[in-house]
Amino acid sequence: MSTHDGQGYWAANIRLVTWLLVVWAICSYGFGILLRDALDAMVPFGGVGLGFWFAQQGSIFVFLALIAIYAKKMAQIDADFGVRED
């Protein structure tokens, strides 16, 4: 494999990971902590609201989705750049 391919593969990987980590940070530190009160006021339910839900349940579900998306997208990127394992 040429170095050029390697760089392209790595750049695609970094792009994907960056986006996923942005979502990761927004859902946990954003929705669950910093914006918690605002979200609770905006979408109240269950005696509290969306902010509390994100802090104790929602962020965990988002984490699960992020890893699933990562595994799936990376498999695609592996194939696109011809670096997939046999």
Partner 1 sequence: MDLTTLTYIFVGGSFALYFGIAIWAKAGTTGEFYAAGRGVHPVANGMATAADWMSAASFISMAGLISFMGYDASIFLMGWTGGYVLLALLLAPYLRKFGKYTVPEFVGDRFYSTSARVTAVVCLIVASVTYVIGQVKGIGVAFSRFLEVDFVTGLWIGMAIVAVYAILGGMKGVTYTQIAQYCVLISAYTVPAVFISLNLTGTPVPQVGLFSGTEDGTPMLAKLNQVITDLGFAEYTAQKGGTMNIIFYTFSLMIGTAGLPHVIIRFFTVPKVRDARASAGWALVFIALLYTTAPAVGAMARLNLMNAIQTGEVGSPDGNLAYAERPDWFKNWEATGLLKFEDKNGDGKIQYYNDKNKEFAAKAEAWGWKGNEMVKVDRDIMVLANPEVAQLPNWVIALVAAGGLAAALSTAAGLLLAISSAVSHDLLKSTFMPEISEKQELMAARIAMAAAILLAGYLGMNPPGFAAQTVALAFGLAASSIFPVLMMGIFSKKMNNKGAIAGMTTGIVSTLVYIFTYKGWFFIPGTNMLANTPANHLFGISPEAFGTVGAILNFAVAFIVMNMTEPVPEEIEHMVEDIRIPKGAGAAQDH
Q: Which two tokens stand for residue 78?
A: 């592996």
For residue 38, state whether it binds partner 1 (rule: CB under 8 A): no
CA distances (Å), origin 49, targets 31, 33, 39, 61: 11, 13, 7, 17
Q: How far is the CB of 59 from partner 1 (least distance, A)?
A: 5
Q: Which is nearer to partner 1, 42 or 83 (CB)?
A: 83
Torsion of CA 36, 40, 46, 48, to 10 degrees: 70
If binding is defined by CB under 8 A, does position 43 make contact with partner 1? Answer: no
Record the tokens describing residue 58, joined without a space.
Answer: 């929602």
The answer to whether residue 74 forms part of the interface with partner 1 (CB under 8 A) is yes
Find tokens 């990971």 and name the residue.
17
Give the interface with partner 1 as residue ranges (CB under 8 A): 1, 3, 6, 9-10, 13, 17, 20-21, 24, 28-29, 32-34, 36, 45-48, 52-53, 55-57, 59-61, 63-64, 66-68, 70-71, 74-75, 78, 82-85
